[in-house]
Structure 1
């Protein structure tokens, strides 16, 4: 396994909170890096409680042999 470094850059104010808009991941010994650019941030958006509800799993009937 190789050490991984994540760099947070391009901080911008979003509703008074400084948020990085560029995240760059570098793996030691690898000549390639991954960059993620964040285009839009919403702070403290209302989220419906149902988003956190335990999912209901349907039971499938298995035919008898």
Structure 2
């Protein structure tokens, strides 16, 4: 049982195998990219969205 505790303590201290580190780094990078995309969506000007919708509506009604 002490071996399990020693292994989990090593993981908590950041002493992971390089094989385990890579997926963790990829996971963190994906989370950061997701947060960045979400923050970009929050900074969209509502008036700009309405203008884009108005531009698209006449095009679809003319067809």
Same fold (TM over 0.5): no
Between Structure 1 and Structure 2, which shows a larger proportion of helix residues? Answer: 2
Between Structure 1 and Structure 2, which shows a larger proportion of strand residues? Answer: 1
Question: Which structure has the larger Rg over C-alpha atoms?
Answer: 2
Using structure 1 for the length normalisation, give the TM-score.
0.20
